[in-house]
Amino acid sequence: MTYNQIEQEFDAYSGWRERLYSGIIAYRDWLKDQKLIDYQTEQRLDNVLYTLQDDKLHVAFVAEFSRGKSELINAMFFGDLGRRVLPSAAGRTTMCPTELSYDAGSEPSIRLLPIETRSSGTTIAEYKGFAEEWEASPLYINDSEKMSEALHRVTEVKYVTQEHASSMGLPIASEDGTDDGMRVRSDGYVEIPRWRHAIVNYPHPFLEQGLVILDTPGLNALGIEPELTLNMLSTAQATLFVLAADAGVTKSDMALWRDHLYSKESGNAVDRLVVLNKIDVLWDELRDEDALKSELARQIGDTAATLGVPEEQIFPVSAQKALLGKIRADEELVSNSGIVALENALTNMVIPAKQEIICENIRSEVADIGAMVGAMIDQRFNDVNDHIQELEGLNTKNMDVIEDMMDKVRDDKRHLEKNLRNFQATRAIFSRQTNQLYAHLNLAALDRRIAETKKDMEISITTPGLRSSMLKFFRGVDSVMDDAAQQAGEIQELMEGVYRKFQKEHGLANIRPRRFSTNKYQRELKRLEERHDYFVRGMAMVMTEQAVLVRKFYESVVSKVRQIFERANRDADDWLRTIMSPMESQVREHQVQLRRRLESIKRIHKASDTLEDRMAELQHVREGVSGEERKTTELLESVLRNLQGRADGEASPVALEQTA
């Protein structure tokens, strides 16, 4: 087998994920055993584990038709299979966006969504939830003939009338033959893709580890299906834009790049790699090594200048030779194909980006739980130390002193109970404020806003008109989020007051309630707005069937905004459900301690226990808490070590692990 960089990096990445996963399980189980966490906190840790498990890495391939996207995917990911997996041929080949991934829960298969579903106004993401809408065929992975037959279905087309094509929002090619639309045959029928989307469930090692590859057709797919640009490309950890050395950067390549891939906002498209494919064409033309080198350098320079990216971001390769080289295990051919540098660049981009996201998502959660557990342990120390001190003052077995002491503990206990009753009264205010928070995040209200905006949009026929009603919509939802943030702040303050009171009056450890921030939703809304504004501005230039497209596009934005709100609601639920729990477990533990202290003083009082015995026992308890602390710190540190690195701009955790 040929040396495969991607495979190694993926293995390292999976290893890292496994370590993190099992570290968190060990930590959680230990905390449970020691009763250091309550049920809610345990669930928070389970959620962290779930985030880790459900972890996909998206890589998208985008280009005009025939630049070699499918061939490149074959070469990069399936070279070890000894044959071509995705169909790749001259002319338009891939007719529908094709997602390659693996879900162990279902059989290997190819699922196809009929093109007619475009008329329904439902997004591809939503269709994923409805298995019966897709046409599924099994994938016989050990029979290469049957397998390529099945995969060939992504090339299927059908012929319909122009009206029918237009009603589905499919643009028709102009008579001068520009390639932006569906081709009209001499009999007047239009050739359109038979499928809108394909999902291939294929048990390949990379896919098993969570890689999701998106192959797009060079059929103005991005213009036709806004969801691809807005959702799939924007969530991809990397996008490869493919050009062909024999074609150069054509006008339509440029339009694709400018309209869908290049983004001023994110600098010079940092998560994009540009591939200059088919360099073998030059090998044939230019036999002379020097001439070849300078021609390549010239093409790279030109491409970089035209696209506005640094030269280092452009990778000259030959997908065809790379695939051939891998199939034949011809290392020299693989090396000449340039594929290794591209594979390295991709893994260096995708894996750290994914790790960064994972770390970002769980780091603060783990640290937060760690701090809470630390405070619980401190409190255990305090309780036992207080008790030891108490008994140390008892060396004279003065009955009065003992009785005083009992009174004091009893007072403490009563005081705590009273505070608990007062706290119940706070609950009424809490639930009122909670209702207000839910009112801001209310989905029905969002739906009303959506309906209003839609009405606005339907009456505005100009692009600026559309733009302004969409911007108004975004401003509206942003200010709703602001209101929600403010309300959450008030709840937070109320709860902090409660925490402070208990902590101050009962000497409890300083734990603060968890925060609820709307920042991440607002950031997502902002990004959505930017992408979407960019899209609308580009639209007037290229689109003909504006009304249909706006509707489709709009639906995809709306579903995304709705998802953000749904998530905010779920997170708020979670937050409100658990905001009290750290303090409740603190108080519960303190109550138990008070009862224990009272009991032990009573026994000394009744002389059924000697002071020495009690002291020895307490020393033993204290040692127990010390041991508990050591082990807890150890387990937490092992988790945090796996989460470090990326945030401070150091090497990725995977790289750290390898050099260690």
Positions that interact with Mg ion (CB under 5 A) = 69-70, 93-94
Q: Tell how strand 238-244 and strand 109-114 pair up.
A: unpaired
> Which range, of 65-73, 402-410, 433-441, 597-605, touches ligand GTP by CB under 6 A?
65-73
User: Is residue 74 within 8 Å of 88, Cβ to Cβ?
Assistant: yes
Site for ligand GTP in 179-218 (CB under 6 A): 217-218
- Selection from ligand GTP, Mg ion, none that 34 binds (CB < 5 to 8 A by kind) is none
Quick one: 115 or 568, whose CB is closer to ligand GTP?
Answer: 115
Quick one: 322 or 580, whose CB is closer to ligand GTP?
Answer: 322
Quick one: 41 or 277, whose CB is closer to ligand GTP?
Answer: 277
Q: Name residue 77's amino acid.
A: F
Quick one: 175 or 284, whose CB is closer to ligand GTP?
Answer: 284
Q: Which residue has the tokens 């959450």?
A: 488
Candidates 123, 320, 522, 642: give the one binding ligand GTP (CB under 6 A).
320
How far, in Å, CA of 254 to CA of 258, rounded?
Answer: 6
> Which range, of 92-100, 163-171, 174-182, 574-582, touches ligand GTP by CB under 6 A?
92-100
Quick one: 337 or 578, whose CB is closer to ligand GTP?
Answer: 337
Closest distance of CB 217 from ligand GTP, Å: 5
Distances in Å between the alpha carbon of 419 and those of 186, 426, 583? 86, 11, 13
Closest distance of CB 85 from ligand GTP, Å: 11
State the CB neighbour count (10 A cutoff) for residue 219: 24
Quick one: 181 or 217, whose CB is closer to ligand GTP?
Answer: 217
Q: Tell how strand 314-316 and strand 135-138 pair up.
A: unpaired
Site for ligand GTP in 278-297 (CB under 6 A): 278, 280-281
> Which range, of 89-97, 268-276, 381-389, 474-482, touches ligand GTP by CB under 6 A?
89-97
Candidates 34, 201, 239, 318: give the one binding ligand GTP (CB under 6 A).
318
Site string for ligand GTP, 214-233 (x = CB under 6 A): ---xx---------------
How far, in Å, CA of 594 to CA of 272, rounded?
Answer: 62
How far, in Å, CA of 174 to CA of 182, rounded?
Answer: 9
Q: Which residue has the tokens 């559309």?
A: 466
Size of residue set near ligand GTP by CB under 6 A: 23
Q: Which residues contact 491 (CB under 8 A, 6 or more apart)?
A: 430, 433, 434, 437, 516, 576, 579
Three-class secondary structure of residue 203 per DSSP:
coil
> Which range, of 20-28, 63-71, 252-260, 479-487, touches ligand GTP by CB under 6 A?
63-71
DSSP letter at 121 equals T
Quick one: 45 or 339, whose CB is closer to ligand GTP?
Answer: 339
Q: Name residue 94's amino acid.
A: T
Quick one: 282 or 470, whose CB is closer to ligand GTP?
Answer: 282
How far, in Å, CA of 294 to CA of 362, rounded?
Answer: 48
Q: Verify binding: residue 98, ligand GTP, rule CB under 6 A.
A: no
Quick one: 98 or 600, whose CB is closer to Mg ion?
Answer: 98
Q: Verify binding: residue 545, ligand GTP, rule CB under 6 A.
A: no
How far, in Å, CA of 524 to CA of 515, rounded?
Answer: 19
Closest distance of CB 191 from Mg ion, Å: 16
User: Is residue 391 within 8 Å of 409, Cβ to Cβ?
Assistant: no
Quick one: 155 or 593, whose CB is closer to ligand GTP?
Answer: 155
H helix intervals, 393-462? 399-440, 443-459
Distances in Å between the alpha carbon of 185 and those of 23, 94, 172, 419? 62, 19, 11, 82
Q: Verify binding: residue 93, ligand GTP, rule CB under 6 A.
A: yes
Is the alpha carbon torsion for 296, 301, 302, 307 positive or negative?
positive
Residues in the chain: 660
How far, in Å, CA of 593 to CA of 346, rounded?
Answer: 57
Closest distance of CB 12 from ligand GTP, Å: 29
Interface residue list for ligand GTP (CB under 6 A) = 63, 65-71, 88-90, 92-94, 217-218, 277-278, 280-281, 318-320
